Amino acid sequence: MTALWNVTAIFQKEWRHYFGSPIAWVALFVWTLLFGIFFSFGVTFFLEMSMRASQQAMQYGGPTRLSMNEMLIQPILQNMAVVALFIAPMLTMRLFAEEKRQGTIELLATSPLSDLQVVMGKFLAAAALYFLMLLAGLVNVVLIWTYADTTPEWQPVASGALGLFLLGCCFLAMGTFVSTLTRNQIVAGILSFCLFLGMWTLGWADSPTAGSGMKVVAYLGVTTHLEDLAKGVVDLKDIVFYLSVITFGLFLAHQSVESQRWRA
């Protein structure tokens, strides 16, 4: 129970800092704005394609209903994954770098908190803010169930949102680790973005003609496992992959903080 209270204390400290500075407000504004823009364009495109399909059905026959999940919601979630690639460094770059710059990292090192508790508290605060951003964006999707005559299936929406959240948490875990390596926030942000971009581009190695080695590389890409989840296919291997990356990132962050304590 003491460990839980310690993690909660760090969580609350980081949460207050997020909303006591422009970080949380800027991240929420940018995320919801871009989500709204993608949603608006997506709805307009879907309506145009639906009208064309109806006209063709009247002339030539054939299906008149298009899949709202495939043509509207799935592209929006995939676009927001790109946004997460850019916003995640904003949420993690100051977690440890700012503590080092201000000299408060020594206070944490001499406090009755373990290194793992500090790492978990900071990561959970960033993940909670990211989850709040995701919920704010999904308000647009909820409007479909309120006003649309034909509503989409909720399972692909839920699994796609889960995949987007897990993908973001992978970035946040690795970004937490990068933030332990430097005392400069800008350097931490740039290094985090480069790392996230590398994790992203691994998925580009996947192709029908790729060999076994390239398929292994593609499997390590974070976007490879988002595609099935966005389609409503919840495969245990995708969930395990994301949880493994998150655990690995937090493990590296813990080891980095612990090694710095010993060096000090």
The Cα–Cα gap between 94 and 14 comes to 10
Query: How many structural domains is the chain composed of?
Result: 1
What is the C-alpha separation between 58 and 47, in angstroms, rounded?
Answer: 17
Query: What pLDDT does 70 receive?
Result: 79
Residues 193 and 85: beta-carbon distance below 8 Å = yes
Asked whether the beta carbons of 177 and 255 are under 8 A apart, the reply is no
> Is 19 in contact with 25 (CB distance < 8 Å)?
yes
| Cβ-based neighbour number of residue 219 at 10 Å | 15
Q: What's the domain range around 214? A: 2-263
- pTM of the entire predicted model: 0.89
The predicted pLDDT at position 65 comes to 65
List, for the chain, all residue ranges whose pLDDT scores fall below the cut of 70.
Answer: 1, 56-65, 109, 148-149, 205-211, 261-264
Backbone phi, then psi, for 21, in 5-degree steps? -125, 170
Answer for the pair 214, 201: CB distance below 8 angstroms, yes or no: no
- Distance CA(111)–CA(56), nearest Å, equals 70
Helix/strand/coil for 64? coil
What are the tens digits of pLDDT across the range 196-209? 998 888 877 666 66
Task: Determine contact, residues 174/249, Cβ cutoff 8 Å.
Answer: yes
pLDDT for 263 equals 57
Please report the pLDDT score of residue 28 as a whole number: 93
